[in-house]
Amino acid sequence: MDTQLSSTMEDYLETIYELHRSEGVVRVKDIARAMKVKMPSVTSALRTLKSSQFIRHERYGHVELTSEGRDIAESVHRRHITLVGFLRDILQLDPDNADAEACRLEHGISRETLRRLMGLMEFIEGCPRSGGDWLKHMQGRWEDRDCGHDCEQCIAQIVVPEASPFIAPELTKTTATLESRQAGFRGRIVRVAGRGPIRRRLMEMGVTAGTEIELERLAPLGDPLECKIRGYHLSLRKEEASTVYVEPL
Domain 74-156 has CATH 1.10.287: no
CATH topology of domain 176-248: SH3 type barrels. (2.30.30)
Q: Can you give the pLDDT at residue 59?
A: 80
Instruction: Return d(Cα 1, Cα 41) in angstroms, integer.
Output: 26
CATH topology of domain 7-73: Arc Repressor Mutant, subunit A (1.10.10)
Instruction: Return d(Cα 101, Cα 119) in angstroms, integer.
Output: 20
Each domain of the chain, given as residue ranges in start order, spans: 7-73, 74-156, 176-248
pTM of the model: 0.59
DSSP string, 85-133: HIIIIIS---HHHHHHHHHHHTTT--HHHHHHHHHHHHHHHH-TTSHHH
Q: Can you give the pLDDT at residue 175?
A: 84
232-236/225-229 β-pairing: antiparallel
Query: Can you list the residues of the chain whose pLDDT is less than 50?
Result: 1-2, 160-168
Phi–psi pair at 125, nearest 5 degrees: -80, -25
Query: Would you call the peptide bond into 197 cis, given omega within 30 degrees of 0 as the criterion?
Result: no
Q: Can you give the pLDDT at residue 103?
A: 85
Phi–psi pair at 51, nearest 5 degrees: -65, -25
Q: Can you give the pLDDT at residue 161?
A: 44
Q: Give yes or no for a contact between 204 and 78, defined as CB atoms under 8 angstroms apart.
A: yes
